[in-house]
Structure 1
């Protein structure tokens, strides 16, 4: 009886252990493993369910919860991707900053402005990315939108100089506004900034202005060019008729002089037409000596009236670059007129061209009043104007000139000694001499 009883007890224990392991321990272990996978981010984790007992019901509830969590997480990711794509489509830079100067959201344009990778900007401090500082911007020297909105939650507009990783500065206009949201059951205020690149704005504005002036100049030049061409043909026929009929040499000489002067007028209008031409989408081969000569021809009368002597010095070999001919003429026109403005009482402008290595170097040296040392770093900034002739300028000429040179892969720099004059140097890569046809 004792043996039989012991056997029955052992069988009951083994059966109970198998039952507990099969119907309790294994389902709980599977549920625990699925919970760990779900906690680690595997939202597609599910629990296999069998039967209709309480553990199977618990497994079904877990699967429904995981499926709901996966669906809502996917919707949240899609909403975040939509929000990111929305702000990336905005042409101006956009960033959202919290009260601790952390950038919660930035768009692609802002990352391009500060030359930071897209994935590295979010979460960084605003002063670190925009101003290359290790602590918040000093409020005594700079108007900080975060600090200003913290004091008075109203929109404001400021001008900042943002620093790139390479220490280059970018002039921007920031429009900042407060944004109130609920977080953790409390209302907090974030700062939304819209950042506009002023150099691009100046470029577009100047392009529109040049477009209007170009159309006006082209129309006037055409109105002059066409009658001159007809008059030249008639004059040429008259000159041939005088020669055939043996008229006096004096009449023939007078007609020849008229024809030469008319040719000069036609050449000038032709240069004006080329100057007013719109930039080509495809860059072309441009002879810089010819560009300088065309520009000086148009400004010769202005130089004579201002008492300015024009001196040019070019080598025998051609100085050719790959660029837009009209932009190179506009660049030369801006630099020459800038030199004229620096010499209100007359002087000398020397334009020198040379080939250094594989670079075309042009220097515009004037004997004007010079630029103060403390103003020299700002002369290429948009809207910065300090004309010596007392006229209020727009401050766009040098900013646009630098943009034109940089678009050709070149560099525009300036040096000056106050009271002695200034020198502007243009360095542009030479057209590849190995390219066929160049």
Structure 2
């Protein structure tokens, strides 16, 4: 079955949240610059209007002064007329302005700066033209305008670019945790349950991270429960099938065993029947082996109630050693033990625990080569009791190690593959764990851990396998 592919979401750049925030910030900065430009232009326009008014007022004052002088000249002319009447010599010193308004008001700019030029032309009484020019320098008032147009404009542009770059950097850093969360969601959708860490970030992002990791933990627990449920359903289906097959096989086996026993008893009373008797004994032995296989099927299928009581572990282990001692001697395998639990009592079902340990010991003897060694240890570690069984066999390949507890799986040429599966069930019913450590060519270690002082044991699937 192929692994689910991890979905990837490709966002268009124009739909990205980063682009939208950056665009919004750019619009705000541009609005700020436009406001500065508008205010500066407004100020510039007001300065020009003010200077035009000043030029007009000064020209008006000059005109009034000249008109006042004209009246004085008229009086002087009258006096001169009187004098001429007296002396007989006429004198005229009269002049009139051509236009009461300034003839020209214009702005000019040269090396001296920026200024206004106001002109007024007058005609004297003798026909001569007189032009009065006034220069109004307003360079100090236009300093802001020139600065904005030249050096300050460059500074503002540089500040704008720096501010925009800084905003983009901060926005990208602020939104990076969201991208990490998005990638984690994609991995989870692909079946890879891993926590996410956004390190230092805003409080809202940290809260989102905690909620996200809590969701991942819940999914992991759900996955474990579903896996255990599938395993239980599988074992239940296999057990029901095995129970039906075993029940159908057991009856004819009993008949074969009974008839072979009667035939063997009859042959024993007649001389010269050693060969037929030997063959019948072989039949009985094979029938006994089939009965053991059928018993294993029934044990796997039937949910027997445990009978817990306080019992010492070491005597149970010594009994198991005595039961397999003869088999070990026949295989020329050394069987050693080191039991250190002593009289410490555990809450257990002695009969079921004996069967669990026997299954492991028998597997170790069957896999161990001639001249090898099988060792049994017991010890108390923290608040648990450990049963450690080691052999000098060829070990278990890595590809088979994870399946050793599956029903009907075996690496041997004989056997049903139910021993370790039954053992695991018994250990789990005692709230214990069973761990197999092995490497090919270097033997195998089976470590059973049972909790001390369990008053009300309940099944718990905590089996582990490690390389």
Q: TM-score, normalised by structure 1?
A: 0.38
1 or 2, which has the higher strand percentage? 1
1 or 2, which has the higher helix percentage? 2
Q: TM-score, normalised by structure 2?
A: 0.36
| Structure with larger Rg | 2
